[in-house]
Protein backbone atom coordinates (compact mmCIF):
# COMPACT_ATOMS: atom_id res chain seq x y z
CA UNK A 1 0.00 0.00 0.00
CA UNK A 2 1.50 3.31 -1.12
CA UNK A 3 0.10 6.50 0.39
CA UNK A 4 0.98 9.71 -1.41
CA UNK A 5 0.23 13.23 -0.22
CA UNK A 6 -0.62 15.44 -3.20
CA UNK A 7 -0.48 19.25 -3.19
CA UNK A 8 -1.91 21.57 -5.84
CA UNK A 9 -1.63 25.37 -5.93
CA UNK A 10 -1.14 26.17 -9.62
CA UNK A 11 -4.02 28.62 -9.97
CA UNK A 12 -6.83 29.58 -7.61
CA UNK A 13 -7.47 26.40 -5.63
CA UNK A 14 -5.37 25.44 -2.62
CA UNK A 15 -5.69 21.67 -2.51
CA UNK A 16 -4.24 18.66 -0.71
CA UNK A 17 -5.17 14.99 -0.85
CA UNK A 18 -4.03 11.59 0.32
CA UNK A 19 -4.40 8.83 -2.27
CA UNK A 20 -3.68 5.13 -1.83
CA UNK A 21 -2.08 3.26 -4.75
CA UNK A 22 -2.96 5.98 -7.24
CA UNK A 23 -6.65 5.16 -7.19
CA UNK A 24 -8.22 5.21 -3.74
CA UNK A 25 -8.93 8.71 -2.46
CA UNK A 26 -8.61 8.85 1.34
CA UNK A 27 -9.05 12.61 1.48
CA UNK A 28 -9.45 15.40 -1.04
CA UNK A 29 -9.51 18.93 0.39
CA UNK A 30 -10.01 21.89 -1.96
CA UNK A 31 -10.09 25.48 -0.69
CA UNK A 32 -11.43 27.50 -3.60
CA UNK A 33 -10.62 31.18 -4.02
CA UNK A 34 -13.45 31.73 -6.50
CA UNK A 35 -15.35 34.07 -4.16
CA UNK A 36 -12.25 36.21 -3.74
CA UNK A 37 -11.49 36.51 -7.48
CA UNK A 38 -15.12 36.99 -8.52
CA UNK A 39 -14.90 40.74 -7.93
CA UNK A 40 -12.05 40.94 -10.47
CA UNK A 41 -13.88 38.73 -13.01
CA UNK A 42 -10.81 36.48 -13.21
CA UNK A 43 -7.84 35.23 -11.23
CA UNK A 44 -5.71 38.04 -9.76
CA UNK A 45 -2.26 36.38 -9.50
CA UNK A 46 -0.90 38.40 -6.56
CA UNK A 47 -4.05 37.83 -4.54
CA UNK A 48 -4.00 34.12 -5.45
CA UNK A 49 -0.49 33.51 -4.11
CA UNK A 50 -1.18 35.38 -0.88
CA UNK A 51 -4.32 33.34 -0.38
CA UNK A 52 -2.37 30.11 -0.97
CA UNK A 53 0.05 31.18 1.79
CA UNK A 54 -2.87 31.57 4.18
CA UNK A 55 -4.58 28.31 3.23
CA UNK A 56 -1.81 25.82 2.54
CA UNK A 57 -1.06 24.70 6.12
CA UNK A 58 -4.67 24.17 7.24
CA UNK A 59 -5.55 22.48 3.94
CA UNK A 60 -2.65 20.00 4.16
CA UNK A 61 -3.34 19.29 7.83
CA UNK A 62 -7.01 18.70 7.07
CA UNK A 63 -6.12 16.29 4.26
CA UNK A 64 -3.95 14.19 6.58
CA UNK A 65 -6.53 14.21 9.40
CA UNK A 66 -9.42 13.41 7.06
CA UNK A 67 -7.48 10.50 5.55
CA UNK A 68 -7.09 9.06 9.08
CA UNK A 69 -3.41 8.44 8.52
CA UNK A 70 -0.36 9.66 10.36
CA UNK A 71 2.51 11.55 8.77
CA UNK A 72 4.61 8.38 9.25
CA UNK A 73 2.27 6.41 6.99
CA UNK A 74 2.99 8.61 3.99
CA UNK A 75 5.43 7.32 1.41
CA UNK A 76 5.96 10.39 -0.78
CA UNK A 77 4.93 14.01 -1.29
CA UNK A 78 3.81 15.07 -4.77
CA UNK A 79 3.28 18.64 -5.90
CA UNK A 80 2.32 20.50 -9.07
CA UNK A 81 5.38 22.43 -10.29
CA UNK A 82 3.90 23.71 -13.57
CA UNK A 83 2.27 24.91 -15.68
CA UNK A 84 0.49 27.65 -13.76
CA UNK A 85 0.99 30.99 -12.05
CA UNK A 86 4.57 31.29 -10.77
CA UNK A 87 3.69 32.88 -7.42
CA UNK A 88 0.96 30.31 -6.78
CA UNK A 89 3.09 27.30 -7.78
CA UNK A 90 5.90 28.47 -5.48
CA UNK A 91 3.70 28.21 -2.41
CA UNK A 92 2.82 24.58 -3.10
CA UNK A 93 6.34 23.56 -4.11
CA UNK A 94 7.91 25.10 -1.02
CA UNK A 95 5.29 23.58 1.28
CA UNK A 96 5.88 20.17 -0.31
CA UNK A 97 9.64 20.49 0.10
CA UNK A 98 9.24 21.41 3.76
CA UNK A 99 6.96 18.46 4.47
CA UNK A 100 9.09 16.00 2.50
CA UNK A 101 12.29 17.14 4.20
CA UNK A 102 10.70 17.21 7.63
CA UNK A 103 9.22 13.73 7.27
CA UNK A 104 12.15 12.22 5.38
CA UNK A 105 10.04 11.47 2.30
CA UNK A 106 10.82 11.64 -1.41
CA UNK A 107 9.52 14.61 -3.39
CA UNK A 108 7.82 14.28 -6.79
CA UNK A 109 7.16 17.32 -9.01
CA UNK A 110 4.11 16.67 -11.17
CA UNK A 111 2.96 18.32 -14.40
CA UNK A 112 -0.51 19.83 -13.90
CA UNK A 113 -1.75 18.67 -17.33
CA UNK A 114 -0.63 15.12 -16.60
CA UNK A 115 -2.43 15.32 -13.26
CA UNK A 116 -5.68 16.31 -15.03
CA UNK A 117 -5.31 13.26 -17.29
CA UNK A 118 -4.83 10.95 -14.26
CA UNK A 119 -8.13 12.14 -12.77
CA UNK A 120 -9.50 9.45 -15.10
CA UNK A 121 -7.87 6.76 -12.95
CA UNK A 122 -9.71 8.05 -9.86
CA UNK A 123 -11.49 6.59 -8.03
CA UNK A 124 -12.13 2.91 -8.72
CA UNK A 125 -15.15 2.93 -6.41
CA UNK A 126 -17.29 4.24 -8.00
CA UNK A 127 -15.32 3.74 -11.20
CA UNK A 128 -14.72 6.61 -13.61
CA UNK A 129 -17.87 6.96 -15.67
CA UNK A 130 -17.86 5.39 -19.08
CA UNK A 131 -19.95 7.21 -21.63
CA UNK A 132 -21.34 5.45 -24.70
CA UNK A 133 -19.02 3.58 -27.00
CA UNK A 134 -18.42 -0.14 -27.25
CA UNK A 135 -18.43 -1.04 -23.59
CA UNK A 136 -21.32 -0.96 -21.19
CA UNK A 137 -23.57 -3.23 -19.22
CA UNK A 138 -21.88 -2.62 -15.90
CA UNK A 139 -18.46 -3.69 -17.13
CA UNK A 140 -15.74 -1.86 -15.21
CA UNK A 141 -13.97 0.62 -17.44
CA UNK A 142 -10.26 0.15 -17.80
CA UNK A 143 -7.93 2.37 -19.73
CA UNK A 144 -6.39 0.79 -22.80
CA UNK A 145 -3.45 2.51 -24.50
CA UNK A 146 -3.04 4.33 -26.79
CA UNK A 147 -5.60 6.87 -25.66
CA UNK A 148 -6.32 10.26 -27.15
CA UNK A 149 -6.53 12.86 -24.37
CA UNK A 150 -8.45 16.09 -24.81
CA UNK A 151 -7.32 18.35 -21.98
CA UNK A 152 -9.54 21.42 -21.73
CA UNK A 153 -9.24 23.83 -18.83
CA UNK A 154 -8.95 27.51 -18.03
CA UNK A 155 -5.31 27.52 -19.11
CA UNK A 156 -5.09 24.71 -21.67
CA UNK A 157 -6.65 23.15 -24.72
CA UNK A 158 -4.43 20.25 -25.68
CA UNK A 159 -4.75 17.14 -27.82
CA UNK A 160 -2.32 14.57 -26.50
CA UNK A 161 -1.73 11.00 -27.60
CA UNK A 162 -0.80 8.89 -24.58
CA UNK A 163 0.78 5.58 -25.52
CA UNK A 164 1.55 4.39 -21.98
CA UNK A 165 2.05 5.72 -18.46
CA UNK A 166 4.13 8.87 -18.76
CA UNK A 167 4.37 8.66 -22.56
CA UNK A 168 2.87 11.63 -24.33
CA UNK A 169 2.86 13.08 -27.81
CA UNK A 170 1.35 16.53 -28.15
CA UNK A 171 -0.68 16.71 -31.36
CA UNK A 172 -1.98 20.25 -31.05
CA UNK A 173 -3.27 22.97 -28.81
CA UNK A 174 -4.83 26.38 -28.77
CA UNK A 175 -3.25 29.21 -30.70
CA UNK A 176 -4.92 31.85 -28.53
CA UNK A 177 -7.51 31.45 -25.77
CA UNK A 178 -7.95 28.15 -23.94
CA UNK A 179 -11.46 26.67 -24.09
CA UNK A 180 -12.16 27.49 -20.44
CA UNK A 181 -10.76 30.97 -20.89
CA UNK A 182 -13.20 31.48 -23.79
CA UNK A 183 -16.07 30.33 -21.54
CA UNK A 184 -14.92 32.75 -18.83
CA UNK A 185 -14.54 35.72 -21.21
CA UNK A 186 -17.86 35.10 -22.95
CA UNK A 187 -19.52 34.65 -19.54
CA UNK A 188 -18.31 38.14 -18.69
CA UNK A 189 -19.65 39.54 -22.00
CA UNK A 190 -23.03 37.99 -21.21
CA UNK A 191 -23.04 39.46 -17.69
CA UNK A 192 -22.92 36.01 -16.09
CA UNK A 193 -21.26 34.97 -12.86
CA UNK A 194 -17.56 33.98 -12.64
CA UNK A 195 -16.35 31.41 -13.63
CA UNK A 196 -18.13 31.55 -16.97
CA UNK A 197 -18.03 27.81 -17.76
CA UNK A 198 -20.59 26.54 -15.26
CA UNK A 199 -22.63 29.77 -15.62
CA UNK A 200 -22.86 29.39 -19.42
CA UNK A 201 -23.71 25.71 -19.10
CA UNK A 202 -26.56 26.60 -16.74
CA UNK A 203 -27.90 29.46 -18.89
CA UNK A 204 -27.60 27.35 -22.06
CA UNK A 205 -30.09 24.80 -20.69
CA UNK A 206 -32.86 27.26 -21.44
CA UNK A 207 -31.49 28.52 -24.77
CA UNK A 208 -31.71 27.56 -28.43
CA UNK A 209 -28.28 26.44 -29.70
CA UNK A 210 -29.31 27.23 -33.29
CA UNK A 211 -30.35 30.82 -32.50
CA UNK A 212 -26.99 32.26 -33.59
CA UNK A 213 -24.73 30.79 -36.25
CA UNK A 214 -21.37 31.43 -34.60
CA UNK A 215 -18.05 30.63 -36.32
CA UNK A 216 -16.06 27.42 -35.80
CA UNK A 217 -12.32 27.74 -36.42
CA UNK A 218 -11.46 24.42 -38.09
CA UNK A 219 -7.93 25.51 -39.08
CA UNK A 220 -7.73 22.98 -41.91
CA UNK A 221 -6.27 19.60 -41.05
CA UNK A 222 -4.35 20.82 -38.02
CA UNK A 223 -5.02 19.68 -34.48
CA UNK A 224 -4.80 23.26 -33.25
CA UNK A 225 -7.62 25.36 -31.89
CA UNK A 226 -8.55 29.03 -31.91
CA UNK A 227 -11.34 30.58 -29.90
CA UNK A 228 -10.62 34.30 -30.24
CA UNK A 229 -12.74 34.69 -33.41
CA UNK A 230 -15.69 33.06 -31.69
CA UNK A 231 -15.31 35.40 -28.73
CA UNK A 232 -15.25 38.43 -31.08
CA UNK A 233 -18.36 37.12 -32.86
CA UNK A 234 -20.16 36.93 -29.52
CA UNK A 235 -19.04 40.49 -28.72
CA UNK A 236 -20.52 41.66 -32.03
CA UNK A 237 -23.88 40.07 -31.19
CA UNK A 238 -23.76 41.60 -27.71
CA UNK A 239 -23.19 45.07 -29.16
CA UNK A 240 -25.96 44.62 -31.72
CA UNK A 241 -28.46 43.70 -29.00
CA UNK A 242 -27.69 46.40 -26.47
CA UNK A 243 -30.31 46.54 -23.74
CA UNK A 244 -32.13 43.34 -24.75
CA UNK A 245 -29.46 40.66 -24.85
CA UNK A 246 -30.78 37.13 -25.59
CA UNK A 247 -28.46 35.65 -22.96
CA UNK A 248 -29.68 32.06 -22.89
CA UNK A 249 -29.76 31.68 -26.70
CA UNK A 250 -26.34 33.22 -27.04
CA UNK A 251 -24.97 31.00 -24.24
CA UNK A 252 -26.37 27.88 -25.94
CA UNK A 253 -25.09 28.91 -29.40
CA UNK A 254 -21.64 29.65 -27.99
CA UNK A 255 -21.48 26.39 -26.04
CA UNK A 256 -22.32 24.23 -29.06
CA UNK A 257 -19.78 26.13 -31.20
CA UNK A 258 -17.00 25.26 -28.72
CA UNK A 259 -18.18 21.68 -28.27
CA UNK A 260 -18.43 21.08 -32.05
CA UNK A 261 -14.79 21.95 -32.60
CA UNK A 262 -13.49 20.09 -29.54
CA UNK A 263 -15.42 16.92 -30.38
CA UNK A 264 -14.67 16.80 -34.10
CA UNK A 265 -10.95 17.46 -33.67
CA UNK A 266 -10.59 14.93 -30.85
CA UNK A 267 -12.52 12.34 -32.85
CA UNK A 268 -10.35 12.82 -35.95
CA UNK A 269 -7.12 12.78 -33.94
CA UNK A 270 -8.19 9.53 -32.26
CA UNK A 271 -9.03 7.90 -35.60
CA UNK A 272 -5.87 9.04 -37.35
CA UNK A 273 -3.65 7.86 -34.49
CA UNK A 274 -5.50 4.55 -33.97
CA UNK A 275 -6.38 5.34 -30.37
CA UNK A 276 -8.37 2.75 -28.41
CA UNK A 277 -10.22 5.30 -26.30
CA UNK A 278 -10.81 9.01 -25.90
CA UNK A 279 -10.18 10.51 -22.52
CA UNK A 280 -11.45 13.94 -21.43
CA UNK A 281 -9.73 15.99 -18.73
CA UNK A 282 -9.64 19.48 -17.20
CA UNK A 283 -12.29 21.86 -15.89
CA UNK A 284 -14.20 22.09 -19.18
CA UNK A 285 -14.55 18.27 -19.15
CA UNK A 286 -17.19 18.92 -16.47
CA UNK A 287 -19.39 20.30 -19.25
CA UNK A 288 -22.27 17.89 -19.80
CA UNK A 289 -22.83 18.79 -23.44
CA UNK A 290 -19.17 18.11 -24.20
CA UNK A 291 -19.32 14.74 -22.42
CA UNK A 292 -22.55 13.76 -24.15
CA UNK A 293 -21.57 14.89 -27.65
CA UNK A 294 -18.13 13.30 -27.40
CA UNK A 295 -19.72 9.96 -26.48
CA UNK A 296 -22.52 10.30 -29.05
CA UNK A 297 -20.34 11.18 -32.01
CA UNK A 298 -17.41 8.86 -31.32
CA UNK A 299 -17.24 5.14 -32.11
CA UNK A 300 -14.60 4.74 -29.42
CA UNK A 301 -15.25 4.47 -25.68
CA UNK A 302 -15.07 7.90 -24.06
CA UNK A 303 -13.85 8.22 -20.48
CA UNK A 304 -14.40 11.27 -18.30
CA UNK A 305 -13.29 11.92 -14.73
CA UNK A 306 -16.04 12.23 -12.13
CA UNK A 307 -17.32 15.82 -12.40
CA UNK A 308 -15.84 17.06 -9.07
CA UNK A 309 -12.41 15.80 -10.15
CA UNK A 310 -12.43 17.66 -13.49
CA UNK A 311 -11.55 21.02 -11.94
CA UNK A 312 -8.33 21.54 -9.99
CA UNK A 313 -7.75 19.20 -7.05
CA UNK A 314 -4.82 17.42 -5.44
CA UNK A 315 -6.14 13.85 -5.66
CA UNK A 316 -5.24 13.91 -9.36
CA UNK A 317 -1.71 15.09 -8.46
CA UNK A 318 -1.23 12.22 -6.00
CA UNK A 319 -2.81 9.84 -8.52
CA UNK A 320 -0.41 10.80 -11.31
CA UNK A 321 2.51 10.70 -8.86
CA UNK A 322 1.79 7.08 -7.94
CA UNK A 323 2.47 5.84 -11.47
CA UNK A 324 5.69 7.86 -11.63
CA UNK A 325 6.73 6.75 -8.13
CA UNK A 326 6.35 3.11 -9.19
CA UNK A 327 8.98 3.50 -11.92
CA UNK A 328 11.44 5.34 -9.71
CA UNK A 329 10.79 8.96 -10.68
CA UNK A 330 11.96 11.39 -7.95
CA UNK A 331 12.61 15.14 -7.93
CA UNK A 332 15.63 16.85 -6.42
CA UNK A 333 15.53 19.39 -3.62
CA UNK A 334 16.30 22.01 -6.25
CA UNK A 335 12.86 21.45 -7.84
CA UNK A 336 11.74 24.81 -9.18
CA UNK A 337 8.42 25.97 -10.59
CA UNK A 338 8.03 26.01 -14.40
CA UNK A 339 5.07 28.28 -15.23
CA UNK A 340 5.03 27.29 -18.93
CA UNK A 341 5.80 23.59 -18.48
CA UNK A 342 4.65 21.52 -21.46
CA UNK A 343 3.50 17.93 -21.74
CA UNK A 344 4.32 16.20 -24.96
CA UNK A 345 7.57 14.38 -25.34
CA UNK A 346 8.45 13.14 -21.87
CA UNK A 347 9.08 9.45 -21.32
CA UNK A 348 9.64 7.82 -17.94
O1 LIG B 1 -8.97 22.71 -14.66
P2 LIG B 1 -9.43 23.98 -14.06
O3 LIG B 1 -10.04 23.95 -12.69
O4 LIG B 1 -8.26 25.02 -13.97
C5 LIG B 1 -7.21 25.12 -14.90
O6 LIG B 1 -6.32 24.27 -14.90
O7 LIG B 1 -7.31 26.07 -15.72
O8 LIG B 1 -10.43 24.61 -15.12
C9 LIG B 1 -11.14 25.78 -14.85
C10 LIG B 1 -11.90 26.14 -16.12
C11 LIG B 1 -12.57 27.51 -16.04
O12 LIG B 1 -12.26 28.23 -17.20
C13 LIG B 1 -14.05 27.16 -15.99
O14 LIG B 1 -14.88 28.14 -16.58
C15 LIG B 1 -14.09 25.86 -16.75
O16 LIG B 1 -12.92 25.18 -16.37
N17 LIG B 1 -15.27 25.05 -16.41
C18 LIG B 1 -16.26 24.75 -17.27
C19 LIG B 1 -17.21 24.01 -16.54
N20 LIG B 1 -16.77 23.89 -15.25
C21 LIG B 1 -15.57 24.53 -15.18
N22 LIG B 1 -16.41 25.05 -18.58
C23 LIG B 1 -17.53 24.62 -19.19
N24 LIG B 1 -18.51 23.93 -18.55
C25 LIG B 1 -18.39 23.60 -17.24
N26 LIG B 1 -19.35 22.92 -16.62
ZN1 LIG C 1 -6.25 22.70 -13.98
Q: Which residue among 183, 199, 341 is best mutated to probe the pocket of ligand 1, counting the most ligand atoms within 8 A of its Cβ?
A: 183
Cα–Cα distances in Å, from 47 out to 8, 143, 161, 181, 250? 16, 39, 35, 19, 32
Q: How far is the CA of 228 from the centre of ligand 1 (A)?
A: 17
Q: Kindly provide the b/e burial profile for residues 314-344, where b requires at least 16 CB atoms within 10 angstroms of the residue's own CB.
A: bbbbbbbbbbbbeeebebeeebebeeebbbe
Looking at all shown ligands, the one closest to residue 311's CA atom is: 1
Count other Cβ atoms within 10 Å, centred on residue 70.
9
Q: How far is the CA of 15 from the centre of ligand 2 (A)?
A: 12
Taking CA atoms only, the protein residue closest to ligand 1 atom 3 is 311
Taking CA atoms only, the protein residue closest to ligand 1 atom 7 is 154
Tens of pLDDT, residue by residue over 182-239, are 999 999 999 999 999 999 999 999 999 999 999 999 999 999 999 999 999 999 999 9
Q: How far is the CA of 13 from the centre of ligand 2 (A)?
A: 9
Q: How far is the CA of 209 from the centre of ligand 1 (A)?
A: 20
Q: How far is the CA of 237 from the centre of ligand 1 (A)?
A: 24
Model pLDDT, residue 283: 98
Q: How far is the CA of 157 from the centre of ligand 1 (A)?
A: 11
Taking CA atoms only, the protein residue closest to ligand 1 atom 1 is 283
Taking the alpha carbons of 42, 205, 118, 294 in that order, is the dihedral positive or negative? negative
Q: What is the number of the ligand 1 atom nearest to the C-alpha of 10? A: 6
Q: With a cut of 50, list the residues of the chain below it in pLDDT.
A: 124-140, 346-348
Ligand 1 neighbours (beta carbon < 6 A): 11, 153-155, 180-181, 183-184, 195-198, 201, 282-284, 286-287, 311-312
Q: What is the number of the ligand 1 atom nearest to the C-alpha of 183? A: 14
Taking CA atoms only, the protein residue closest to ligand 1 atom 21 is 283
Model pLDDT, residue 40: 82
Model pLDDT, residue 151: 98
Looking at all shown ligands, the one closest to residue 282's CA atom is: 1
Q: How far is the CA of 196 from the centre of ligand 1 (A)?
A: 8
- Total residue count of the chain as it appears in this document: 348
What are the residues facing 152 on neighbouring strands? 157
Taking the alpha carbons of 68, 71, 77, 79 in that order, is the dihedral positive or negative? positive
Model pLDDT, residue 277: 98
Amino acid sequence: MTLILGIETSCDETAAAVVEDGQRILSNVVASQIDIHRRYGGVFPEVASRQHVLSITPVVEEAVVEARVSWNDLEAVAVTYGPGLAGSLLVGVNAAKGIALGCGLPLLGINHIEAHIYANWLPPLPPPQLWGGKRGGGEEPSIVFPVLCLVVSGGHTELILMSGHGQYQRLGGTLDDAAGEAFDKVGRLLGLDYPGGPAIEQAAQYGDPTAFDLPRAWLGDSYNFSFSGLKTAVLRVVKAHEGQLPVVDLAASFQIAVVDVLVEKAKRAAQEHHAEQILLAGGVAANKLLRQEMARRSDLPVLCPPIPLCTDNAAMVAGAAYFRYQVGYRSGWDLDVIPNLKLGSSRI
